[in-house]
A and B are shown apart, each in its own frame.
Chain A
Amino acid sequence: MSSPSISDVGSRLFQEYTTKTPQKLKLIDAYLGYIMATGVIQFVYCCLVGTFPFNSFLSGFISTVASFILGVCLRIQVNPSNSIIFKNISVERAFADFIFAHGVLHLVVLNFIG
């Protein structure tokens, strides 16, 4: 057997992803992709225009990064294949944590954005 090449791995990954992933997780993934896009746009803008006002840049950028992290945490906790690890955390509980953390995050972001 010839060892699989990168393109083989990539296409296998893509195929498995599109067929086997539950829709709920794909929804979260789409949301994460949107967050990443806004984060990248902001970073490129800051590189072009300069860091004034730095607090606004940090606030906006950290908002995207933290949202991304919270989304990833939600995805991990909600993924049925991980249910063994997260026995006592129901989907509702995970979502409630997610929303609570977002509340704190946006409070802080609006304070720091100046």
Chain B
Amino acid sequence: KSRTKGSQAVVSTQSTGGEPIREIAAEVGLEVDEPGTAVIDHMNYDVADTGNHVLIVAGDFTSTEVIVGASPSPVLFHGVGMAADSENPLVIDILRASDTAYSHSPDQDILEYPLAIGSSLLLVAGMQARNNARVVVFGSHDMLSDKLYNAQAQTVASTTSQEAGNRGFVSAVADWALKRNGDLRFSAIKHNKVGEEPSDAAYRITDDVEYSIIIEEMRSGKWAPFQAKDVQVEFVRIDPFVRLFLVPDSAGNFKVSFKVPDVYGVFQFKVDYDRTGYTHLFSTTQVSVRPFRHTEYERFIPSAYPYYASAFSMMGGVIVFSFLFLYHKDTKPAAKTE
């Protein structure tokens, strides 16, 4: 079942980019710097730079592998920078500028504080909305060009050059943006009392239940079993009474079994999985939990044995006493003393 409404977008702009693209970026929480500005880095510019230090080598990637791949190589960038509100929980900073970078027009004196500097300045940024649709904005057209795909990256400070990581990086990010990577879906939620088939009957307190859900992940355009160790299920009646990790098998079937708490009421099995770069999975299944029936309590309570004993001893005492009382023969009482 697809969790996404809406569609995906991959957008790129540059220093001379026009207003419509800037407005699209602003809609998703990214403020692109003004026309004419560029990302300038006087310490990490490439050896092929023409003098303004705007062709830079950037290597500060997000740690989310599903977006940028396992270990991306530094990329060449020549474009405009973006800033996002640090409190925006939906924006993902995919490629940040290095600590020595800033965003400003290369031709003008710096008279006021730039839009952003250092690692707050974003070169490539993405956003996953609450409907799981994704948008990525690249701040540089050139970064996507054949010229930079085939170029070598070497900062002025280093003596070795390596192949620019643009091709791999851009493919990975575009795959993520277009949902060929990092999309999740769930199916086949099953819950039942251990040893029984699933049924509509209510569970009882202190029953053993097992819950399973199948989660699949889109990898390179194909659905494959999802293998994560941090998916949790909660057993919630307003507050969670139980919260456990689900254990996946190789087919993507996530399972756990637990004992229903000693509380009756209407509960929900909740799976709420929200990780950077993955779609937000949310599923609830409502079940009832009933208390013990009259016949399901233990018959004799061990801590009450003394009371049982006393009740029966009273009965026994009456019987013994009655025998003695009835068959008692009075012996003459002692003579009264005067």
Contact = CB atoms under 8 A, between A and B. Distances in A.
Indicate whether A and B interact.
yes
A45 B310 CA distance: 12
Given A23-B331, A42-B306, A56-B301, A34 B311 contact: no
B6 interface: no
Contact of A60 (B307, B328, B333): B307
B314 A106 contact: yes
B306 A41 contact: yes
B313 interface: yes
B326 interface: yes
Contacts of B311: 59-60, 63, 106, 109-110, 113
Given A42-B310, A60-B308, A52 B303 contact: yes
B307 A57 contact: yes
Interface of A: 19-24, 27-28, 31, 34-35, 38-39, 41-42, 45, 49, 52-53, 56-57, 59-61, 63-64, 67, 71, 95, 99, 102, 106, 109-110, 113-114
A99 B322 CA distance: 8
Contacts of B318: 67, 99, 102, 106
- Counting chain B CB atoms within 10 Å of each CB, the highest count among A23, A28, A39 belongs to A23
Contacts of A35: 314, 317
B129 to A, nearest CB: 55
Given A24-B325, A42-B306, A113-B308, 17 more contacts: A20-B336, A21-B333, A22-B330, A22-B333, A24-B330, A28-B325, A31-B317, A35-B317, A38-B310, A39-B310, A42-B307, A56-B301, A57-B304, A61-B310, A63-B311, A113-B304, A113-B311
B188 interface: no
* Nearest 3 Cβ contacts at the A-B interface: A60-B307, A56-B304, A56-B307
B70 interface: no
Interface in B36-69: none
Interface residues of B, number: 25
B321 interface: yes
Contacts of A61: 307, 310
A21 B334 CA distance: 9
Interface of B: 301, 303-304, 306-308, 310-311, 313-315, 317-318, 321-322, 324-326, 328, 330-331, 333-334, 336-337
A24 to B, nearest CB: 6
B330 A63 contact: no
Nearest to B300: A114
Interface of A is mostly: helix
A24 B327 CA distance: 10
B304 A63 contact: no
- Counting chain B CB atoms within 10 Å of each CB, the highest count among A57, A60, A102, A109 belongs to A60
18 contacts: A22-B330, A22-B333, A23-B330, A23-B333, A27-B321, A52-B303, A53-B303, A56-B304, A56-B308, A57-B304, A60-B308, A61-B307, A63-B311, A67-B317, A99-B322, A106-B318, A109-B311, A113-B307
A21 B336 CA distance: 11
Contacts of A64: 310, 314
Contacts of A38: 310, 313-314
A57 B301 CA distance: 12
Contacts of B301: 52-53, 56, 114
A51 to B, nearest CB: 10
Contacts of B317: 31, 34-35, 67
Contacts of B321: 27-28, 31, 71
A65 B212 CA distance: 57
B306 A45 contact: yes
Contacts of A102: 318
B328 A23 contact: yes
B327 to A, nearest CB: 11
B109 to A, nearest CB: 83
B215 to A, nearest CB: 45
A67 B320 CA distance: 13
A53 B304 contact: yes
A61 B310 CA distance: 8
